[in-house]
Amino acid sequence: MSPAVSEYPSLKIALGGDATAVFDAGVPVLAGEMTDNLFATAQSAGRIGGLSLFNTGAWVLGAVSRSPTTGIESCAQRIYTDILRATRGLCLARIWNYVPAINESDGSGLENYRAFCRGRSRAFEECHGRGFEAGVPAASAVGCQSPSLTVAFAACRAAPRHVENPRQVPAYRYPPEHGPRAPSFARATVVADGEETTVFISGTAAILGHATVAADDIGAQLGCTLENLREISLACGLGPGLDRGGRSSRHFKVYLRQAADYPQVAATLAGRLFAPGDRVSYLHADICRRPLLVEIEATLFGIRAGSAWD
């Protein structure tokens, strides 16, 4: 990473208004929102294991940053074991993972992302047994500059609906060529609470079936990513444009492997995805597969029936 990029501020994850609820993701912010504060009214609710917990309304939140001194796999398994213990009786709706040196080797010849996936999967299986995949929530996992593995989650009391993209193989069914354990996440999670609905869209990139599309071509990858977001939006019941034109509050994070791609990507997304009032962060981060150059995630709050879809 160039010195110019390394001088950008790091994304902060806030799980409330208290200073103790702020975690450093270790991901440089190229432009836009510097703090990801989706649950501004949350209050501290103690700790379980290494997790700091918070709650607001029907939501239970948590986050932890831990140094993987015994390896990424065991660190991920321990963190997820704590998460599953803290959310017993609740439903996980969204998990954000910031993985140090995500595309580098863990020292045993396994890529850090694949080691992370194995640890995460083992924690889910130990808690829920075989077939746990049916309950895994929306998630993202991108690289960070921090030496610590940082994980944040949102859980709810209402039973969510987990959604897949018909253009893609579910991540938890990827074949072994993508690692010894498939990634444990759904493409999106929909949480209905009374008259309003919250939707979490996982990190979305240029993957069709389970194969990477247009390796190292940012324009083609961005086009494929936008088509995948359109299909996920339809599957979630949001129309083709992620409730664009509706009354929801829309939050986006755009991860770029190459900071130099920012002007092209920002110009395209301004015309094809974003609307006035959207909250957007452009971030410089390695992505789970080396050929992938861009990944986009979204969180939508306050979706109401009858939104004016475009």
- Mean pLDDT for 4-27 is 85
The pLDDT score that the predictor gives to residue 306 is 57
β-bridge partners, 299: 200, 251
Q: Which tens digits make up the pLDDT trace of 275-302?
A: 999 999 999 999 999 999 999 999 999 9
Q: Are the CB atoms for 93 and 155 separated by under 8 Å?
A: yes
Domain 3-304 superfamily per CATH: RutC-like (3.30.1330.40)
Question: What is the C-alpha to C-alpha distance for residues 149 and 113, in angstroms, rounded to an integer?
Answer: 11
More confident residue, 212 or 216: 212
More confident residue, 302 or 16: 302
Which of 259, 262, 268, 267 has its CA nearest to residue 223?
268
- Grade residue 216 by pLDDT with cuts at 50, 70 and 90: confident
Name the average pLDDT for the chain.
94
In the predicted model, is pLDDT for residue 171 greater than 60? Answer: yes
- Mean pLDDT for 247-263 is 97
Helix (H, G, I), strand (E, B) or coil at 270: helix
Segments of the chain assigned E as strands: 10-14, 22-32, 35-37, 43-48, 51-56, 59-66, 91-100, 138-144, 149-156, 161-163, 188-193, 196-204, 207-208, 211-212, 249-256, 279-284, 294-304
Whole-prediction pTM value?
0.95
Q: Is the torsion defined by CA of 187, 193, 197, 200 positive or negative?
A: negative
CA 1 to mean position of chain CA atoms: 23
The pLDDT score that the predictor gives to residue 185 is 98
The pLDDT score that the predictor gives to residue 6 is 60
In the predicted model, is pLDDT for residue 22 greater than 50? Answer: yes
Identify the DSSP state of 88.
T
Residue whose pair of structure tokens reads 């409730």 in the numeric block:
243
Active site residues: 295
| Angle (deg, nearest 10), helices 262-272 and 218-236 | 30
Helix (H, G, I), strand (E, B) or coil at 140: strand
Phi, psi of 230 (to 5 degrees): -60, -45
Question: What is the C-alpha to C-alpha distance for residues 82 and 50, in angstroms, rounded to an integer?
Answer: 7
Tell me the pairing of strands 91-100 and 35-37. unpaired
β-bridge partners, 204: 296
Q: Which tens digits make up the pLDDT trace of 175-197?
A: 999 999 999 999 999 999 888 99
Give ∠ CA 86-92-95 in degrees, rounded to 5: 95
Task: Report how far apart, in Å, the C-alpha atoms of 216 and of each of 161, 192, 258, 292 are.
Answer: 34, 38, 10, 7
In the predicted model, is pLDDT for residue 113 greater than 60? Answer: yes
Q: Are the CB atoms for 220 and 206 separated by under 8 Å?
A: yes
The pLDDT score that the predictor gives to residue 194 is 81
- Grade residue 149 by pLDDT with cuts at 50, 70 and 90: very high
